Amino acid sequence: MTIPIEELRRAQEIIAGAARIVCICHRNPDGDAIGSLLGMALLIENACPGKTVLFQCTDPAPETCRFLPGALRIRHDYAYIPGDAAIILDCGEPKLTEMHETHSMLFDGSMPTIEFDHHHRNPLFASVNFVFPEAASTCEIIVAFADAVGWKITSDIATCLLTGVYTDTGGLLHSNTTAAVYRTVARLLRAGARRQEIVTAVFRTAKFSTLKLWGRVLEKISLTAEGGAISAVTEGDFRASGADYSELTGAIDYVNAVPGMRFSLILSERGGTVKGSLRTLRDDVDVSAMAAKFSGGGHKKAAGFALPGKLKPEIRWKVEQSEEEQGKTALR
């Protein structure tokens, strides 16, 4: 991935010309959203003293990411002032910010915006777009950008950015873990990224309520004739386990582990919406196309959608005769 020089120059102009810069990531943020939000906000604060940098997300950082520097500075009350510029991170489309209706100035061209993203159906909605679908994470793009403009990546910033690289590659295990990803990891470790802090907080910590919720997910897996491993969690499951919605993150990788399946799906009930998370391990299945049928999106191997409604269980029973019984029937 090479950062195009013309876009780089325009982005620098936007940043130089703004007194306040608001960094925004998608609602219900994952490690890459939080890592890229914090990484970018701290990079600008360091490189451009005197500028006010706002950390904005509709939802707070998930608990697993609260150890990151700056995580507690995230607010959800951004109010536009003329002269502001925005940097939008890890958002495949405007509505993922959940600010598309309340803050139309972000998307109608009335304020300068820069976006960094790696979702392949991104409609390039910002004034300057750094969208690289071949990147495994948004954090990877930010590392390339910071190095291209010559911004210093401190140990704190490297820790934020490595979190995004790790979470979007499932701990460097997903098929999107290219040589470029390993190069980025090496770059961040040299910059002082505190790898073990990330491993402990993100991959080796599971709350009691999370394990209880995952137990319910695993208990309810069913396999469909179309080759799907499917599970569902209701509001009742969240209540009974004491888990919040964000604790479902990661459970899909277990559902996706059933051998021979084409895809996996977890449906989860959240207020009046049902969220679907899709994964596949196969090259000939595109789950982002499946998600698109339900107005969702994502990547070829990991995608999601949300539909208004509730979950209704459907149980099917049929009587299957034993071979012995069938034999008796045939003899009569």
Using CB under 5 A as the binding rule, the residues of this chain from 163 to 202 that contact Mn ion are 168
* Least distance between Mn ion and beta carbon 122 (Å): 11
Closest to Mn ion by CB, 138 vs 184, is 138
Give the integer Cα–Cα distance in Å for 246 and 254.
Answer: 16
Question: Residue 247, interface with Mn ion (CB under 5 A)?
Answer: no
Residue 18 or 74 with smaller CB distance to Mn ion: 74
Q: Which residue in 32, 84, 156, 237 binds Mn ion (CB under 5 A)?
A: 32
Task: Give the number of C-alpha atoms closer than 13 A to the C-alpha of residue 166, restricted to the C-beta side.
Answer: 27
Nearer to Mn ion, 97 or 234 (CB): 97
SS (H, E, C) 176-237: CCCHHHHHHHHHHHHCCCCHHHHHHHHHCCCCHHHHHHHHHHHHCCEECCCCEEEEEECHHH
90 touches Mn ion by CB under 5 A = yes
- At 54 the three-state DSSP class reads strand
Measured from the CB atom, is 103 or 119 closer to Mn ion?
119
Q: Which residue has the tokens 């969240």?
A: 238
The residue range among 60-68, 149-157, 160-168, 318-326 that interacts with Mn ion, by the rule CB under 5 A, is 160-168
Tell me, residue by residue from 253 to 292, as one string, x for binding to Mn ion by CB under 5 A and - for no binding: ----------------------------------------
Burial state string for 6-23 with b = 16 or more CB within 10 A and e = fewer than 16: ebbeebeebbeebeebbb
Q: Which is nearer to Mn ion, 167 or 268 (CB)?
A: 167
State how far the Cα of 62 lies from the Cα of 25, in Å rounded to an integer: 13
Binding site for Mn ion (CB under 5 A): 32, 90, 138, 168
